[in-house]
A = this chain, B = another copy of it.
Amino acid sequence: MSASAPAPRNSATIDTAPRQASLEPLQALVATDLERVNHAIVEHMQSPVALIPQLAGHIVAAGGKRLRPMLTLATAGLVGYQGDRHIGLATAVEFIHTATLLHDDVVDESDLRRGQDTANAVWGNQASVLVGDFLFSRAFQLMVADGSLKTLKILADASAIIAEGEVRQLITTNDVETTEAAYLEVIENKTAELFAAAARIGAVVADRPDDEEARLETFGRNLGVAFQLVDDVLDYDAEQAQLGKTVGDDFREGKVTLPVILAYHAGDAEQKAFWHRVIDRLEQTDGDLEHAQALMAEHRTLRASLERARDYAEAARGALDWFAPTTHRTALEELVDFCVERAY
C-alpha cells in the first residue's frame, strides 16, 4: 500500500490505522456455499475423456478468486434467499468464466496466467479451445438442471455479449486510436456483463421484485467495469509483478487500454509515433515498456484511469444503498473497495 493511498472509506476512527479493504468478510460470509460450489465445479468438470478434467482442473485450481460465483452467493444472501439454486447457478457462472479464460489465453497466445503455465502452454491451443467448449456446454447443462428459463436467458444473453466484447477487443488491439468509448464498450461487454448477470441471479433465485434485480444488476455491472479498469492499470504497475500477473502483458500484445489511450492523446507527435510503433506495429525493443510507463507517469494516466474506476465503484456502492445495512451489504461494499484498492 503506497503512502499516497486514500483512507479506505469504511474504516478509521482517528486513532486507528486505516484498514485496507479485504475480500475476507465476503469470503467468510459465503464460505459454506463457496465450498459447495467448489465441489460442484469438480463434480461437473468430470468426463470419461480424462484430458478434460485434467485440463479444466489445471485452470480451476490455478487460484482464481471465484469473484463471479461469490457475487451470486453473496447477492442471494443479501436478499435472504434460503434455497439451493444459487449453488448450481454460481457454478455455471464460473464455468462460463473459465471457458472464456481458456479461449482468451488461446487468443492472446498467453503462456502464463497468475504466474502459472496456461493450459494452452501445457496442452496446446487445440485442447484449450475444445475443453473451453466443453465447460461452456456444461454451464448450460447446469442451467437446464436448475430449470429456469429466466436464468437461462440471462446467462445465454450474457454469453453472447461476452463473445461480442472479446471480438471488439480483438478489433481494437493494435489500434492506438481506439476511442475511450470503444474501450469502455469492450470492457462492459467482456467483463462487466458477467459480473452483472452473476449479481442479478441472487435476486432471481429468491424471486425478488424486478427493481431489486435491476439494482443488483447495476451493482455488478459497475463493479465489473471498475474491476477491469483496475486490472488494466495493474498491467502497467511496476510493483505488481508479485501478484503473479506478468506486468506488460497487454503492452506486448498491443492491447489498447485506458492508460494507453489517455497517454496517446496527451502525447506530442514524437510520443504518438512511439505508441503507433509499439502498439499498432508491435515493433518493440528493450526499454519500450519502461518508456511507456514513463509516459504514463508523465501524463498521470494510471491515476486518471483509477479515478475512472473509482467513479464506477461509487456507482456500484450506490446501487447497494437501497438494501438494508446487513453484514452482507457491508461485505459487498468492502468488495467494491477491495477491487479498487488492490491497485495501491
Contacts and interface: CB of A to CB of B under 8 A. Distances in A.
Interface string A57-99: 0000000000000000000000000000000000000000001
Contacts of A160: 134, 137-138, 141
A336 interface: no
A170 interface: yes
A230 B168 CA distance: 40
Interface stretch (A47-55, A111-119, A217-225, A310-318): A47-55
A140 interface: yes
A162 B141 CA distance: 13
A214 to B, nearest CB: 20
Given A129-B106, A130-B103, A140-B140, A48 B164 contact: yes
A103 B153 CA distance: 24
A144 interface: yes
Interface residues of A, number: 41
B140 A159 contact: yes
Copies in the complex: 2
Contact of A156 (B144, B153, B171): B144
A12 to B, nearest CB: 45
A217 to B, nearest CB: 18
Contacts of A294: none
B107 A130 contact: yes
A192 B224 CA distance: 40
Contacts of A129: 103, 106-107, 129
Contact of A144 (B99, B100, B152): B152
Given A140-B152, A152-B152, A130 B163 contact: yes
A188 interface: no
Interface in A282-335: none
Given A126-B107, A167-B130, A137 B156 contact: yes
Interface of A: 47-49, 51-52, 99-100, 103, 106-107, 125-127, 129-131, 133-134, 136-138, 140-141, 143-144, 147, 149, 152-153, 156-157, 159-160, 162-164, 166-168, 170-171
26 contacts: A49-B171, A52-B164, A52-B167, A99-B133, A103-B133, A106-B126, A106-B129, A107-B129, A107-B130, A125-B125, A126-B170, A130-B167, A130-B170, A131-B163, A131-B167, A133-B163, A134-B163, A134-B164, A136-B136, A137-B159, A137-B163, A138-B160, A141-B153, A141-B156, A144-B149, A147-B149
Given A133-B136, A141-B160, 18 more contacts: A49-B164, A103-B129, A106-B126, A107-B129, A130-B166, A130-B167, A130-B170, A131-B163, A131-B167, A134-B160, A134-B163, A136-B159, A137-B156, A137-B159, A137-B163, A140-B159, A149-B149, A152-B152
